[in-house]
Amino acid sequence: MRISAIAGLIGALASGGALQAAPTTSLFPLARSGGVAELAALQAPSPAQVGADGVTVNIAAAAQARPQLRASVIPLRPEPRPSQAQAVAASAPTAAAAEPAVVTPVSGRVQRSLVPVARPEERASGPTRVVRAGLFAGLTARATSGQSRQPRKGSVCGDRSLRGVKIAPINGKLAGCGVAEPVKVTEVDGITLSQASIMDCATAQALKSWINEGVRPAVGRRGGGLSGLKVAAHYSCRTRNHRPGAKISEHGKGRAIDISALILKNGEAITVLDGWRQRREGKILKAAHAAACGPFGTVLGPEADRQHQDHFHFDTARYRSGAYCR
């Protein structure tokens, strides 16, 4: 009974045309714009597809009519994120864009160097160039100031601190005497000589060293300081100690000078004859005598022999065994 009723129902539906045509569209809802269905439609090899109403649709034309279709397609690979360096460059102000940024990674962060980089055209004439040029010019001027200074008028041996005159070559009366390039010195670095003394330039330089390194420190502030030297002898064409037949003295070659006293600024004189064995003056004279051994090759004083009881003898003779100091 039930079977016949169901068969009758099916026949009634068939006769009414309810099952004459099947639906041409899916009962499921359409995919959202930009979904997998539209992406597959764009990538299909066939240029045409049958639409829901049986009409052939050109996919290329549909894409042009609906530009949002391509724009809305989700890319399969996401765009890479901007790097930290690009983020800093993008966030930098427009005024700083002309200066290239120096990016240095420090502890995972990106820092912008505070030192601006000059443009190529600015390096040749910029302020940095001027400052450096001035600095190096000053250093060069100071380094060469001693060499470029011209000897002042009245100086000798190319030394501004040696005052005197250059004189003609001296030809001695005895064989072995004479000075090829003699000078007559009157002042040595502000210290006055009691008489103009003839010598060569090597002896003048040795005298200057002895004054500055030996006599001035030995005198100190006594009597206001050193003012002059009393010269007992300088150039003289003679034998040693005036003995007949002896060798020519260094005095006869312009290489020696004898000093008999130190003159102080207050007018006091510390003489070798009177002061050598005194307690206070002797200390000064002995210090000055010892300091001469080095600048000079021969140094003789009151303890050398009886001929030098009243003066110091200095000469620039050199010996293989070193300086001779007594």
Q: What is the pLDDT of residue 152?
A: 72
Please report the DSSP string for 250-315 in residue order.
GGGGT-EEEEEEEEETTS-EEEHHHHTTSHHHHHHHHHHHHHTBTTBSEEE-TTT-GGGSS-EEEE
Cα(326)–Cα(284) distance, integer angstroms: 16
Please report the DSSP string for 36-85 in residue order.
HHHHHHHH-SSSEEE-TTS-EEEHHHHHHH-HHHHHTSPPSSPPPPPPHH
Cα(324)–Cα(317) distance, integer angstroms: 9
Domain ranges (residues) in the chain: 155-325
Q: Give the model confidence (pLDDT) of 187-216 as tens digits.
A: 999 999 999 999 999 999 999 999 999 999
Q: Where are the alpha helices (DSSP H) in 125-198?
A: 127-148
Buried b (16+ CB within 10 A) or exposed e, 132-167: eeeeeeeeeeeeeeeeeeeeeeebbbebbbbbbeee
What residue ranges of the chain have pLDDT lower than 70? 1-151
Please report the DSSP string for 226-251 in residue order.
EEEEEEEE-----BGGG-TTPPBPGG
The distance from CA 64 to its chain's CA centroid, rounded to whole angstroms, is 70
Which among 187, 242, 214, 238 has a CA at the least distance from the CA of 312? Answer: 214
Structure tokens at 82: 């901007």
Q: What is the pLDDT of residue 319?
A: 87
- 3-state secondary structure at position 137: helix
- 3-state secondary structure at position 168: coil
Q: Give the model confidence (pLDDT) of 2-42 as tens digits.
A: 555 565 556 555 554 444 445 555 555 554 544 444 444 44
Q: What is the pLDDT of residue 244?
A: 87
Cα(4)–Cα(33) distance, integer angstroms: 49
Q: What is the pLDDT of residue 231?
A: 98
